Structure 1
Amino acid sequence: MGQTARVSAYAWIAAGSLAAWLWLLLFQGFFWRTDVRLPRRTDPGEWPSVCVVVPARDEAAVLPASLPSLLAQDYPGRAEVFLVDDGSTDGTGELARRLARERGGLALTVDSPGEPPAGWTGKLWAVRHGIGLARARDPEYLLLTDADIAHAPDSLRELVAAARTGGFDAVSQMARLRVDSLWERLVVPAFVYFFAQLYPFRRIGRTGTRTAAAAGGCVLLRTEAAVRARIPDSIRGAVIDDVALARAVKRGGGRVWLGLADRVDSVRPYPRLADLWRMVSRSAYAQLRHQPALLLGTIAGLALVYLVPPVSLAVGAASGDRVAAVLGGLAWLVMTGTYVPMLRYYRQPLWQAPLLPVTAFLYLLMTADSAVQHYRGRGAAWKGRTYTRPGTVSDEG
């Protein structure tokens, strides 16, 4: 009787996991589809002016692969680039000036804001300084892009045309991240998959929905919308600044669009698991608003959705509980099928799809470690700065 009860419990848990996957498949904004790309667009009759703001801290290693792509933008209107050197110690600012002299293209201004005051993250303080410099040129749009992002020559043109055609106040593309090393192949596609599961791209672009997110590496922002939403002052302490920015724009009545990029790429390498671990864990607990209850719920949810299917299949097969095995196998099959489009987008072999539970377990550990670092007072650490009490939005947000 005890064995029967235990096996029956496995079956019920497996049924819960399968139900969760069926709900995610059908009712979570079709998050698993990867066909959300720049919306239909037509060239405007008159191209608006754009200023590109690039916050950069110790980016000399990646700048030669990214900055020239911005300077070489084939944009019919007026455009220029502002690189804000955020206290770099590796010669980032001087390298940027040299690249501009050697490569030519759009005008480049390099400046530094000094150390951020209390309550500001370093990146957003740099963005604030860059926007201040840019607004002296009175641009209609601001392109906020990270120093590790390389753009195709028509990237700016396509972003502006999409914003104008769709009437969007913010158009963001999630850059295609690098997937060269073994760990990058295992972790990176899943990172984007999990992000889309939390913030389904289709819902973000719909009028009247509360879902809001952006990808900080590439955000075209209407200057008027930035002023209305008080960006970046209203999100000055945000560690997850891209999501906070999109929420601020939507709260201010603006329209936001987010999708996957075709020709916008991150050139930053994450060759080791430790590199990827730091990338995820530095902000995972901030995403949960530093709430222990949300942390426990997230860990339980990850376990139910991603770990229960293979465990139920294995335990059911070993114990003779066919119901648990079948339900676990079906849940794993649905999970695997929803991951296939993301692997195709990243041009990875499809045999990796059944390994998603392994990656999810790593993310579970990264999330737990993020909380541990927070309570040790280390908070979100990035490039020599530690934010002991980071938040997704500022106190005023």
Structure 2
Amino acid sequence: MKRLVVLGGGESGVGTALLGKEKGYHVFVSDKGKIKEKYKEVLIHNEIEWEEETHTEAKILNANIIMKSPGIPSKIGLVQRLVAANIPVISEIEFASKFTDATIVGITGSNGKTTTATLTHHLLKGDLNVGLAGNIGDSFAKQVLERGYKNYVLEISSFQLDDCYSFKPHIAIITNITPDHLDRYDYKFDNYISSKFRIAMNQTKDDYLIYDGDDEVIVNHLNNNPVQSTLLPFSLEKTIENGAYLDKENIKITIDNDQIIMPTTTLSLEGKHNIKNAMAASTVAHLLRIRKQTIRESLENFQGVEHRLEEVLKINKVQYINDSKATNVNATYYALESMDAPTVWIVGGEDKGNDYQELFQFVNEKVKAIICLGVDNEKLLKTFGGMVDIIIETQFMSEAVKIAYKVAEAGDNVLLSPACASFDLFQNYEDRGRQFKNAVRNL
């Protein structure tokens, strides 16, 4: 019996363990940290062997195959020893895709992945049997085991792609590529770019790559490293023959001379970046033969994603906006770009080697006060101290929101858009966003 060892007992790990057991593997789950109670119960109920707060190497190095959680860096000693022993180390996406012949839409990029994946699923679910997985919701492996959808929309991070080798989505989307997570890529942007393009490495001319045709990083990489896929770019700036572009206030999507036109005036999501997300999602829907009417209606009634430019409450004519999912500078760029009123900006957290320069124009134009929310705010104070009259630091969300309440006047926005990871003060970006919303509701 083949031995599958799962490193990491979270959503993707436990999903993989269940699918592996069903497919006849002897499964062992090992987590260096604590495994959440709900996942322990699943493992115990399914009689799957597990350990926590340690990695017993004797029980790991005898594996035939290893599924590694995306949070575990490849640089650690244990993973290096597995590689040296020629034991395949793969991601959940790679493992689960071997057990389904569903049509897969794989979505990656530095920003907009979650919104584009959720929106794509929303456009397809009326007409198709379709699951939403990857970085969101229930694990892909678990859905392959329990639901057996005919189609999947997968949000896939570069960390997951790094451990993919034969994975081949029929439709791939790269929303954009900007510097992020460079600490995992030897601080080399090229390594990170190559990682994102792994989504298309096994595609053939019968598969599709949808990408931002205005993104110079993507366009340059494609020019120097051609892929086999049929290319369908989307653009706000140029006319596209095969793909999507903006013509005045209409999105025009053409695939093999079959064109559909969508008005942008009725889009439920605001901001230029969301026109791009809508273009990418609608191109998928058009490829998969969803009716124009369905696409149009779905774009109009889409509710958006929690923690992504989420309007929380209006108090004394001040709008509070939760953009906790903005864990890098480019995401915050979109947030500040879409602000149409003087803004009190709450920023900070664990800096991943950020360069804040692209934000300067918006900070000068739109930001009236900055509240730094992090353990170490020195870089923010140094970078923005001269640009705004008020810059304050704190390490408590409740205090940050109270300060914002005092500083903001009628007609202003209060925006939580951290541009940083959350791990210095919070469990994750969801925890950060929920604390923000609770603090606003308690004002």
Classify the TM-score, shorter chain: 0.3 to 0.5
As a proportion of its length, which structure holds more strand? 2
Return the TM-score normalized by structure 2: 0.30
As a proportion of its length, which structure holds more helix? 1
Return the TM-score normalized by structure 1: 0.33
